[in-house]
Amino acid sequence: MLKLRGVVSKCFFLRRHISALYITGDKANENYVTLQPFLDFAGTFRDRAVLEQSIARRGLAIDLEEMLTKYATYQTHHEQLLRLEEERDAITKELKLLTKSGGSAAQLEELRARGKVLRNEVKALKQSLYPIEDDFIHDFLHLPNGLHSHCPQTNVEKLIYRHKTPPAVEQPRWHLDRKELVHFVDNNRYYMMEKAAHFDVDAMQALARYFVTHGDFVQTSNPDFVRCVLLEANATPLSQYHLVREEHLLNKLNTAYLTGGGAFESFLGTLTKLCVYPSVLPLRYVACGRSYNREEALAYGPTPSLYTATQTNAVQSLVATQTEADADAALEHVLNLAIDFYKSLDIPFRIVYVTAERLTPAESLRASIEVYAPSLKRYVCVGRISNYGDFVSKRILFSTRRDKHYDFLHLVGGPVLYTTRLIAALIELGVKLEASKLPGALQLGPSVQAMSQHQRDLQEFKDLFK
């Protein structure tokens, strides 16, 4: 088990004043530009009422009127700069023509003088535009995605599926009492043992295999560390993950964060600046890995437990589609696969659309998969699937080519399983930790539970070459 406190820094930023996603020219000397996002001003401000509704329902402290004023100022300066650049280009072309046609020295000198004046004017205007651009663009990047029509209109989550009702237990079990299965130190350190350790790995692998064999997904392996530029592209609060201390950091703005290979953001590096043909869509990916999210479980505190642990094994999914309708179908497809998995456990669970105030700015809709936890007397999230629309794709330049036109892809994805919380709930519900009855578990082999650790390691190595 990774000891987080020895690897990462405890400090983090709630909101930075300088962005790694958009770097203005005056800062480009110290920090290279990793990614230049597509800024859709016209599309974002086209329907002001929809944008205002998204901001209000999410409970964001954004003054849209002030931002539109900044946008007008930015647009005025930008248009003035374009006019000067066009005039400079025209003078350059005219100089070349006069030089070839043998123009008089006076004409050439006059044009050169005008060119120098324009060059100085452009330089001065750029210097005055940088703080205006910096102020407006960074505020613009904090604007949220539009809300999906299925997102609850009120502050009450919307139930879309439920399996079994919660049991009525006066004195529920407490999962940490099972010392032979869990050795819990704190939220950063815990150790699964015996059947819990086997189930932790087997359930994750079984679900991933089920997605591959029954959902037409491709399994990938993602990095544990993600650069800040990708977190900002996904509008992920930087406080969710641990900032990594780097001795030799080339770009001070684009720091690294420990997310785990089971985090949605770990997919984004592969998709950045990628253009695919429509014939390969939809793209379906699934990955197993760790997830190190220290904010998600705060809702299940304050008592430290497996429900509040900052790290867990996870199964992460991602689907890229061409249209909004395809994205809706992809979300339903992923949810159906997840329902098959959780129904096989025969435990009380439900799927709900969460309220707008619980969404990140990039999400337009989120379906939360929740299992009942007897000790907390409430449902806990063991997975979630989100619809991001083309919000993230515009920021990472993930597109498809159609004739001579480029369309940004719609993304659907999220962790369909957090093993740590699921194991805690299963222990309290009195369910045996056996992965053999899970969908996809048959491919683990008939005697996998009886194998020694050496045999299991050897089998996993052999599976790499299948």
pLDDT digit string, tens, across residues 69-80: 999 999 998 899
**Over the chain, what is the mean pLDDT?**
87
Measured in whole angstroms, how far is the alpha carbon of residue 362 from the centre of its chain? Answer: 8
The binding site for L-serine consists of 294
Detail the residues annotated as belonging to a binding site for ATP.
294-296
CATH code for 158-463? 3.30.930.10
Q: Any idea what DSSP says for residue 151?
A: S
β-strands 275-276, 399-402: how paired?
parallel
Domains 63-140 and 158-463 share a fold: no
pLDDT in tens, the chain (466 residues): 333 333 333 333 334 456 778 777 656 666 667 788 999 998 999 989 999 999 999 999 999 999 999 999 999 988 998 888 888 888 888 888 877 777 677 877 888 888 888 888 888 888 888 888 888 998 999 999 999 999 999 999 999 999 999 988 778 889 999 999 999 999 999 999 999 999 999 999 999 999 999 999 999 999 999 999 999 999 999 889 999 988 777 667 788 999 999 999 999 999 999 999 999 999 999 999 999 998 877 788 789 999 999 999 999 999 999 999 999 999 999 999 999 999 999 999 999 999 999 999 999 999 999 999 999 999 999 999 999 999 999 999 999 988 778 899 999 999 999 999 999 999 999 999 998 889 888 544 444 455 566 677 777 777 766 6
The strand pairing partners of 311, in sequence order, are 292
Q: What confidence tens digit (pLDDT) does each residue in 182-235 have? A: 999 999 999 999 999 999 999 999 999 999 999 999 999 999 999 999 999 999
Q: Are 175 and 306 in contact (CB under 8 A)?
A: yes
User: Which CATH code, of 1.10.150.120, 3.40.50.970, 3.40.50.300, 1.10.287.40, is assigned to 63-140?
Assistant: 1.10.287.40
In 308-449, DSSP assigns E strands to 311-321, 349-353, 365-373, 378-389, 399-402, 405-408, 410-418
| CA-based end-to-end distance of the chain | 28
Residue 108 vs residues 84, 88, 96: alpha-carbon distances, Å:
19, 14, 10
CB 345 within 8 A of CB 438: yes
Tokens of 105: 């020295």
Q: Which residues are annotated as a binding site?
A: 294-296
| Domain boundaries, given as residue ranges, for the chain | 63-140, 158-463
The pairing of strands 242-244 and 410-418 is unpaired
Q: List the beta bridge partners of residue 162.
A: 350
Amino acid identity at 36: Q
